[in-house]
Every structure is written in structure tokens, then in C-alpha cells.
Amino acid sequence: MRTGNEPSTARSPLRMRLWLSVWGLIWAASGTAAFALAGRTGWAVACGLLLVVVAVDLVLVLRHLHQGPHYQPGPDVPPYEPDHGGRGGRGS
């Protein structure tokens, strides 16, 4: 149930995702190079694809960090109505 103070107490995991992406980027690049030098083309391609995915995630995380905080409702905005366990309709 929402209490109404979530915007003031919410914490974003973006910095953690940033460092995990950097860690993944290092490992994926190392894996791509190592498998390419070892002649394991399939594994090198798999690590290369993972490298691309991690790089895109890193760019998105940096973009979100540079955007800064977004609109947060103030104390005059009432909290959301709690979920009553229905299947899509209000209050069902």
C-alpha cells in the first residue's frame, strides 16, 4: 500500500547499474578478445553481442543520470488508491 511519502524516500539504483555496466563491459570485452585469440569464434561472437547489450545499457544509464530528477508530486497530491486485488477494474 502506498503511503504518499515514496517520492521523497525513493532511491534510484542507477549508480549501481552504472558500475555493474562498467564491470560487464570490461568482462565482455576481455571475453571477446580472449575467445577471438583462442579461435573460439562462436564464444567470441556471443561475448561481442553481450558487449553491445552492456554498452547500450551503459549509454541509457548515463542518459538517465544526466537527465536528473523528474517531476515528483508534492504533499498536496493524495496517494494512489491501494490495489484491492481485482483483475483490472477499479474496486472489482
Residue 34: how many other CB atoms lie within 10 Å:
13
Q: Is residue 61 scored above 70 in pLDDT?
A: yes
Calculate mean pLDDT across residues 46-65. 94
Helix (H) or strand (E) holding 56: helix 41-67
Per-residue confidence band for 32, with pLDDT thresholds at 50, 70 and 90? very high
Calculate mean pLDDT across residues 60-87. 72
Q: Is residue 13 scored above 90 in pLDDT?
A: no
